[in-house]
Structure 1
């Protein structure tokens, strides 16, 4: 009996790994139909990138925002614990941007996706199609005059926001300038780069 159940399990595993059932081939046509039914081509789609730990499975996911919900579009199961890296993030974002190339896109993400290299890739590779808002860490450096300071040192009053245009963020060269919104809520300061 145990041999039969093990055999059935292996058959199911092989079935689920068929190329014909891959997400881009099987799932993307359904996503395209759903998006075209719900959003007009003049709509701006808000995409949310997030990583979640579900039991022992680490999942990097990109979803579309709709009526205060996040509808999953594409995901990748990571073979490690903890944060994703730039290559994994690009591997999840790239096929979705190709799928939704007819739309204007706004990508939002939390502090895990603060990388200036992700910002640079989005800005350089997807001009005029993709905008992004990536939450930054307090330790991120910003150039003020001729010297750098950390965002945690930036003076902002509670409950207020300050928009800084064309800021050099991080000391890394050749990654361009970005707009930075600094917002202080109660004890914490939230920082977003776009």
Structure 2
């Protein structure tokens, strides 16, 4: 009973944020959802059995609580994308940056399910925007698999803000590039494989691997064609070897490329930190026993809501100067996600204030994470390139 009383503070804070009873088919669906969010934040694990002590229920038996959660996850009347829409719209409504960077990627779970997700890059982490679960044994997907998902995202993003999509080599789909530039008004920075074919006026077709670079050397090609068999263009490229580890990077863009194109694409790696939050560093979703596409999609709704809430709480904690109440580092050593999560758990014991509104305003981080001065100095480097730029004319 004492546990449920403490959890009620978090439940009430979440309810103040998510309280949209008219959007839910039944008020009990909202109630169960909120208690499941409370449970995942408290336990840090996607395990219905572990959640049972955190959830009040009229039923006397633990099995009653478990069945209640299972029914929610398999309930076809719960349209999680319609329910999530007003939450993410409100969270991003006060975005102040001129540009918002989106990252598109896939994750494979249990060699059976593929999660395709689009996120907003935010201060070293990622904010879930929209997702789709496929029963698919590969992390490679076609444009048709995620076209509708991206079209949904158009209506979720703040108005009047430049949108730049960042994606890895598995998303070099010409249909995606066409849709972004001709239909959605988005821009893109997508990584290319070394064996990609490009065409230059007066030079013909060649592969990126035909070019040889030393560390810190790069080329910018403007107005070229991509893909030999079914070509697409004009596009703009920047490619070369970085000055840190010599890794080959090639980025295709709809806008003329510069050194900044490398830096922009580098923001994509923030979604990989988000993968850690979903797994070993956070919700431990890999331990889930759920094996159903609809149920997993609803599960990610629970995780998305929890992620938004604890991240916004972390931003609030840092902005109010209370970070060191939960972060042992002299400098900020934990992510906003982790700081917010630790604050929420501690607040249930200490009576600290919990936010009742979730909002994000900027990707600019006034207090960048730094676990230690030594590690920070080792990892800090400047992207220094000797770049040559070539302009071509498309036929």
TM-score bracket for the superposition, by shorter chain length: 0.7 to 0.9
The question of 1:28 aligning with 2:85 is answered yes
What does the per-residue CA deviation read over 1:112-139, in whole Å, with 9 as the maximum and x for residues that have no partner? Answer: 112233222222222xx31100101111
The question of 1:111 aligning with 2:169 is answered yes
What does the per-residue CA deviation read over 1:123-173, in whole Å, with 9 as the maximum and x for residues that have no partner? Answer: 2222xx311001011111001334211111123332122211111111245
The question of 1:150 aligning with 2:207 is answered yes
The question of 1:51 aligning with 2:110 is answered no
Distance in 1 separating the partners of 2:113 and 2:180: 27
Unaligned runs of 5+ in 1: none
Which of 241, 247, 251 is the matching residue for 1:184? 241
The SS at the match of 2:195 is coil
Q: Contact 1:117 / 1:175 at 8 angstroms: preserved in 2?
A: no
The SS at the match of 1:24 is helix
Name the CA shift for 1:17/1:189 in 2 (closer, same or farther; >3 Å). same
Q: TM-score, normalised by structure 2?
A: 0.43
Q: Contact 2:132 / 2:146 at 8 angstroms: preserved in 1?
A: no
Q: Which runs of 4+ in 1 moved over 6 A?
A: none
What does the per-residue CA deviation read over 1:84-109, in whole Å, with 9 as the maximum and x for residues that have no partner? Answer: 11111312211112222613200001
Distance in 2 separating the partners of 1:101 and 1:19: 29
CA deviation after TM superposition for structure 1 residue 58, in Å: 1.4
Which of 113, 123, 145 is the matching residue for 2:181? 123
The question of 1:161 aligning with 2:211 is answered no
Unaligned runs of 5+ in 2: 1-61, 254-395
Q: Contact 1:60 / 1:76 at 8 angstroms: preserved in 2?
A: yes
The SS at the match of 2:232 is coil
The question of 1:69 aligning with 2:122 is answered no
Distance in 2 separating the partners of 1:175 and 1:158: 29
Distance in 2 separating the partners of 1:21 and 1:74: 16
The equivalences for 1:33-44 within 5 A come to 33-37=90-94, 39-40=95-96, 43-44=98-99
Range with bigger deviation, 133-142 or 117-126: 117-126
Higher radius of gyration, 1 or 2? 2
Between Structure 1 and Structure 2, which shows a larger proportion of helix residues?
2
Higher relative contact order, chain-length normalized (CA < 8 Å, sep 6+): 2
Distance in 2 separating the partners of 1:85 and 1:104: 25
RMSD of equivalent CA atoms: 2.5
User: Which residue of structure 2 lines up, in the alignment, with residue 95 of structure 1?
Assistant: 152
- Aligned residue pairs: how many? 186
Between Structure 1 and Structure 2, which shows a larger proportion of strand residues?
1
